[in-house]
């Protein structure tokens, strides 16, 4: 239907014939002439309606259309104009494709601030706002940058089941679903399956897919459905996995710096390339630091949000927390040989925020099984997983990035819902 996006008009010659399509953002009527602002995904353009040339009937009909109605405008581009935008389209034909009702549930460009609940209730309108679209363009580029890096590094994309019979990371936070006569669960992570793929000899795999967690509390950084970017790599240690993560983070930031200039400008963001290697800080060191700041925390505890905010004041950029106590991590973590109280697990942080967890995995059947028991779980429930460790399992490591968390930190968003199209939280499953 269209010949150009509005953003493409500036590259054309004066007098070019064009057809642009989009939403009526605004109409300013001045008697026999009206200025219509048409918005499409790429920007806005002025369409100048002249009563004399359109005819009374058409002029009246078009200049009285409700805001956000959808039209296509065919006409002549004029570049030498007094229009603020530096160009205008003089129409000779306007197709009204869809009339919007009035009043709108919320405004698109109005300066009045709308609360997040209203925005999410009418998300499709909220998403028409350029600065909201820019967040999702950045999110799209981040996953593309990550995907391209992983492809370059020889990873094979896989798709593992999202309906499962056993809990992945222990019993909590599970969504139960009816599966014919039986109960099943939604996956919290592709963890067990991506590890099985190492026994399958795929060597390096990745998956970008939803993960489901029944988080009890509504917070600014938890969703009940999020996009998990998972990798698993064979013949690799925790150190190899951290290096790969650094590489992926660096190149995905480089990717948005090259491909999202306009979005960064719309959002008024400056995103710097991080320095590599990222600092690696041991759990014990941070435990001491947190205690020295008067926050009570014992060996084996996870860092509370209070503890992380104190740590985040000291370490503002990317850094790893390494050498975790085994009791703080899942059963599949490989313990250190020199001191098995600690495991080869890591988190990648950005200031106070966690964006990735990972580890070298325990690939030794007997000790893995012991660890499952030590966590109070029943190895029989994991027999499909454990079997993969009995007939030739290479050492392996991997991690998972939360896509929304990652987008959130790079775009400086205060609420994870900002970077989630249709968030699922404790209170919301619609729209
Ligand atoms: P973890 O449970 O830390 O690790 O999850 C990995 C990353 O996923 C993101 N994330 C979330 N994002 C939004 N809402 C949530 N409720 C939520 N929960 C987690 C975070 C987190 O860092 N199997 C391991 C990964 C591995 O070892 O490979 C795992 O799932 O960014």
Structural element, H or E, at residue 268? none
Locate the ligand 1 atom nearest the alpha carbon of residue 231 and give its number.
28
Residue 167 has pLDDT above 70, yes or no: no
Residue to probe by mutation, ligand 1, list 167, 174, 175, 189, most atoms within 8 Å of CB: 189
Residue 228 has pLDDT above 70, yes or no: yes
Query: Is-contact 330 343, C-beta < 8 A?
Result: no
Locate the ligand 1 atom nearest the alpha carbon of residue 173 and give its number.
16
Q: Identify the residue whose C-alpha is closest to ligand 1 atom 1.
A: 357
Q: How far is the CA of 401 from the centre of ligand 1 (A)?
A: 7
| pLDDT on residue 169 | 63
SS3 assignment, position 381:
helix
Q: How far is the CA of 208 from the centre of ligand 1 (A)?
A: 12
Query: What gap in Å lies between CA 77 and CA 87, rounded to an integer?
Result: 7
Q: How far is the CA of 204 from the centre of ligand 1 (A)?
A: 20
Query: What gap in Å lies between CA 236 and CA 393, rounded to an integer?
Result: 12
Q: Which of 268, 35, 95, 230 is nearest to 150 (CA)?
A: 230
| pLDDT on residue 83 | 84
Q: What is the mean pLDDT of residues 189-208?
A: 98
Residues 341-383 pLDDT 10s: 999 999 999 999 999 999 999 999 999 999 999 999 999 989 9
Query: What gap in Å lies between CA 39 and CA 129, rounded to an integer?
Result: 10
| pLDDT on residue 383 | 93
Cis link prior to 431 (omega < 30° from 0)? yes
Q: Identify the residue whose C-alpha is closest to ligand 1 atom 2.
A: 357
Residue 403 has pLDDT above 90, yes or no: yes
| pLDDT on residue 366 | 98
| pLDDT on residue 217 | 85
User: Which residues line ligand 1 at a C-beta cut-off of 6 Å?
Assistant: 189, 191, 213, 215, 222-223, 226, 228, 230, 354-359, 398-400, 402, 404-405
DSSP 242: H
Locate the ligand 1 atom nearest the alpha carbon of residue 213 and give its number.
16
Q: How far is the CA of 228 from the centre of ligand 1 (A)?
A: 7
The tokens describing 421, both together, are: 């199209």
Query: Is-contact 301 321, C-beta < 8 A?
Result: no
Q: How far is the CA of 347 from the centre of ligand 1 (A)?
A: 10
Locate the ligand 1 atom nearest the alpha carbon of residue 194 and give its number.
28
Query: Is-contact 320 347, C-beta < 8 A?
Result: yes
Categorize the per-residue pLDDT at 171 as very low, low, confident or very high, splitting at 50, 70 and 90: low
Q: Which of 428, 430, 346, 406 is nearest to 221 (CA)?
A: 406
Q: How far is the CA of 248 from the centre of ligand 1 (A)?
A: 17
Question: CB neighbours of 130 closer than 8 A, spacing ≥ 6?
Answer: 43, 266
| pLDDT on residue 80 | 78
Q: How far is the CA of 264 from the centre of ligand 1 (A)?
A: 26
Query: What gap in Å lies between CA 399 and CA 329, rounded to an integer?
Result: 13
Query: What gap in Å lies between CA 224 and CA 426, rounded to an integer?
Result: 7
Residue 332 has pLDDT above 90, yes or no: yes
Locate the ligand 1 atom nearest the alpha carbon of residue 345 and give its number.
27
Residue to probe by mutation, ligand 1, list 400, 417, 424, 426, most atoms within 8 Å of CB: 400
Residue 398 has pLDDT above 90, yes or no: yes
Residue 234 has pLDDT above 70, yes or no: yes
Residues 71-113 pLDDT 10s: 999 999 999 778 889 999 999 999 999 999 999 999 998 777 8
Q: How far is the CA of 303 from the centre of ligand 1 (A)?
A: 15
Report the chain's mean pLDDT, rounded to a whole number: 96
Quickly count: other Cβ atoms within 10 Å of residue 12's Cβ. Answer: 15
């Amino acid at each position: 239907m269209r010949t150009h996006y509005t953003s493409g008009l500036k590259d054309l010659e004066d007098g070019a014939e064009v057809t642009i399509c989009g939403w009526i953002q605004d109409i300013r009527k001045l008697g026999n002439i009206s200025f219509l602002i048409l918005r499409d995904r790429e920007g806005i353009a002025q369409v100048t309606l002249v009563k004399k040339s359109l005819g009374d009937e058409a002029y009246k009909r078009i200049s009285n259309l409700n805001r956000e109605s959808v039209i296509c405008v065919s006409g002549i581009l004029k570049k030498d104009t007094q229009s603020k935008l530096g160009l205008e389209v003089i129409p000779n034909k306007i197709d009204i494709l869809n009339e919007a009702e009035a009043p709108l549930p919320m405004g698109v460009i109005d300066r009045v601030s709308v609360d997040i609940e209203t925005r999410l209730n009418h998300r499709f309108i909220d998403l028409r706002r350029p600065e909201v679209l820019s967040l999702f363009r950045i999110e799209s580029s981040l996953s593309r940058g990550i995907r391209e890096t992983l492809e370059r590094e020889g990873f094979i994309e896989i798709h593992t089941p999202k309906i499962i019979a056993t809990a992945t990371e222990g019993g909590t936070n599970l969504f139960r679903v009816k599966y014919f006569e039986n109960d099943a669960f939604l996956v919290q992570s592709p963890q067990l399956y991506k590890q099985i793929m190492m026994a399958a000899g795929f060597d390096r795999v990745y998956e970008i897919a939803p993960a489901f967690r029944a988080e009890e509390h509504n917070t600014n950084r938890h969703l009940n459905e999020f996009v998990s970017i998972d990798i698993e790599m064979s013949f690799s240690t925790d150190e190899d996995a951290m290096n790969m993560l650094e590489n992926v983070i660096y190149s995905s930031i480089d990717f948005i710096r090259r491909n999202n200039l306009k979005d960064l400008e719309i959002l008024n963001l400056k995103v710097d390339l991080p320095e590599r290697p990222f600092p690696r800080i041991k759990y014990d060191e941070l435990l001491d630091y947190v205690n020295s700041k008067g926050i009570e925390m014992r060996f084996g505890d996870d860092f509370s949000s209070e503890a992380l905010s104190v740590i985040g004041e000291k370490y503002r950029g990317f850094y790893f927390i390494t050498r975790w106590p085994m009791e703080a991590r899942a059963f599949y973590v490989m313990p250190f040989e020199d001191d098995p109280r600690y495991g080869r697990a890591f988190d990648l942080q950005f200031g106070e925020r966690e964006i990735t967890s990972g580890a070298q995995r325990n690939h030794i059947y007997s000790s893995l099984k012991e660890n499952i028991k030590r966590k109070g779980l029943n190895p029989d429930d994991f027999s499909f997983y454990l079997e993969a460790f009995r007939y030739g399992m290479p050492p392996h490591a991997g991690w998972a990035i939360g896509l929304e968390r990652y987008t959130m930190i790079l775009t400086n968003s205060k609420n994870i819902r900002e970077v989630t199209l249709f968030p699922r939280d404790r209170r919301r499953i619609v729209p």
